[in-house]
Structure formats: structure tokens, C-alpha cells
Amino acid sequence: MPTAEEELQAKEFLKRAEIRTMKKDLQALREVDALKERDKIAKIKTLEEQKSEQEKQLQMKKAAETEAEKAGREEILQKGGGEERIAEKDLKQYATEPERQQIFLLESQRLGFEKQVDEIDNEKDPALKLENNKLLLKKRDQEAKLNTILDKEKKLEDEQKFITEKAQITTIPSEKKGLEQRRWDLDKEIQDIEKKRWEVEKDIQETDAAISKLDKDAKQLVAEKNGLKDKILGIDKSLREIYSIVMAREEEQRRGQAKEQIARKEALAKVRAGEKEKVQRQQWTGKSSKIDIPVPVPVRRKISKSFEAEEEQRKKFMQDVENWAQKNESPMSKQPSTPPKN
């Protein structure tokens, strides 16, 4: 007949064996559940991946088309803006002093707005994007940590559920006591891991809040940039109005000068025709005839000056010829001639 000590050892042995069996059963149950879950996820993931891949390709195609259109528009605008600036520089020299002052003020304002736009494009916007990428990476790490905690918490809860069910059906007091002890230990572990989960979830909420703030700042930055561009467009419109006035005035002035030149040429041609007709009449009749031709006073003055200059040149030419003839005259020609006899 076994002693009390042998019975106690036998119970302890059975208890340990039962715990090992329970652990094996629990491990087998987890493996089966894991295999089922993995197969289910694999099937679903295949369909979802196909759909996601198609959507991703479509989004990439649309994004590429949008970027190409945007680049084309920017190139056209930059080219047109450069040509317009060259034309403005040429027209500025024909502007009046008040117009030049107004042009200088508007161009200074435009330069200031363009510097602000460049600051947004080259400094503020890249800084926001960099910070946003850092936060997204941080959130990804936090979510990975949270998933690990959730997996561990689920395993503990599954084990606790299994132990609770096992404790309800067992009839061995020692085994039941061991199961209860394990369940209490699991309760403590679950509470500890829940605290970690709450901390990580709080960190994720703070990261989401920071990302939302960055998104808000980015939208505000876009609105600020659009406002600056609208101001630049307004200034360009005002400058075009000023340059249109300058160009219209200059064209009108040039048309007036062209008309005046045509009038001068016509008047001069009329005067020359009249003089020619006068000479011809003198040659035919041997008398001087006066022809009255109406000539504008400014043209008359210019014609008179032109005639005086021509007369002066003619006199100078005759004097030069006479001097040359005297210089080259032979000695025989210098002897006095004998008057003819009557």
C-alpha cells in the first residue's frame, strides 16, 4: 500500500503531466488557428493585391499626366513671362517720369511677392514635407509596435480562455488549483500589456494630431502661395495697362511724324515742280513769270534755307573755279590785247 508521500509525489507527477499536456494542446490549438488564419489571409490578400495594384497603376498614370501638364504650363508661362519682361524693358524708355515711378513701384512689389513664392517653394514647403515624412515613419513604427502588443495580448487572452474552460471541467483539485494560479498570472500579464497598448495608442494619437497639423499648415501654405500669385497677376495687369498707354502714345506719335514727313515731301515736290515750270516759262517767253503756290510756313522756311545753302555752295564753287583758272593761266594770256583799228 502506497504511503502518503508516494501519493503526493504521484499527484505532483500527474499535475505536471497534465500541465504539459495542457500546454501541448494549447500549442496545437494555436498552430491550427494560425494555419487557418494564414490561409484565409493569403486568399484574401491575393484578390486585394490585384485590385490594389490596378488602382496604384491608375493613380500613378494620372499623377504622371498631371505632372506633365503642369510642367508644360509652367514652361509656357515662364517663356511668355520672359518675353513680356523683355518687351517691358524696351517700352520703359518711352514712358514719362510719373509712369516710370509707378512702374518702379509695381515692379518692386512684384519682386517682393516673387521672393515670397520662391521662399515657399524652396524652404517652407520642403521643410513641411520632410517633417511629414518623419512623422509617417514614426507612425509606421508605432503601429508595428502596437500590432506586436495586440498579438501578444490576443495570445494571452486565448490562453486564459482555454485555462478557464479547462478549470471548469477538471475534477482534480490540485490541477484545478494550478489552473487558477495560471489564470491569475495571465490576468496580471494582460493588465501589464494593456497598459503598454494604451501608451502606444496614445503615442499614435499624438502623431496623428501632429500629421493633421502639418496637413493644415500645408493647405494654408498653398493658399498663401495662391494669394501671392494672384497679387503678381494683378501687378502684371496694371503694368500691362501702363505699357499699353505708353505703346499707344508712341505709335500715335510715330504716325504723326510719318504724316508730317509725307506732307513735307509733298510740299517740297510741289515747290520744285513750280520752280521747274517757272524756269521753263522763262526759257520759252524770255520773261519772268510768277507762279503763286501755297506753301506752309515751316516748309517755306526750310525750303528757303535749303535754297540759301545751295546758292552759297554754288557761289563757293564758282569762286573755286575762278581761282583755279587764274592759277593755271599761261603768260601769253596775261599780255594786254591790241585794240582793233578803225
Give per-residue pLDDT as tens, 262-315.
777 777 777 777 777 777 677 676 544 444 445 555 655 665 666 667 677 767
- φ/ψ bin of 286: left (φ > 0), alpha (ψ from -120 to 50), beta (otherwise): left
Residue 100 has pLDDT above 80, yes or no: yes
CB 180, CB 165: distance < 8 Å: no
Q: How far apart are CA 179 and CA 22, in angstroms?
A: 10
Give per-residue pLDDT as tens, 205-249.
999 999 999 999 999 999 999 999 999 999 999 998 988 888 888
Q: How far apart are CA 58 and CA 48, in angstroms?
A: 15
Identify the pLDDT of residue 134: 93
Residue 65 has pLDDT above 60, yes or no: yes
Identify the pLDDT of residue 59: 79
HEC readout, 266-283: HHHHHHHHHHHHHHHHHH
CB 110, CB 232: distance < 8 Å: yes
Overall pTM surpassing 0.95 (yes/no): no
Between 267 and 73, name the one with better pLDDT: 267
Between 43 and 249, name the one with better pLDDT: 249
Residue 332 vs residues 335, 337, 339: alpha-carbon distances, Å: 6, 10, 16
- φ/ψ bin of 308: left (φ > 0), alpha (ψ from -120 to 50), beta (otherwise): alpha
Residue 141 has pLDDT above 60, yes or no: yes
Residue 324 has pLDDT above 80, yes or no: no
Identify the pLDDT of residue 126: 93
Identify the pLDDT of residue 315: 73
Nearest to 112 by CA among 249, 280, 235, 243: 235
Give per-residue pLDDT as tens, 176-187.
888 888 888 888
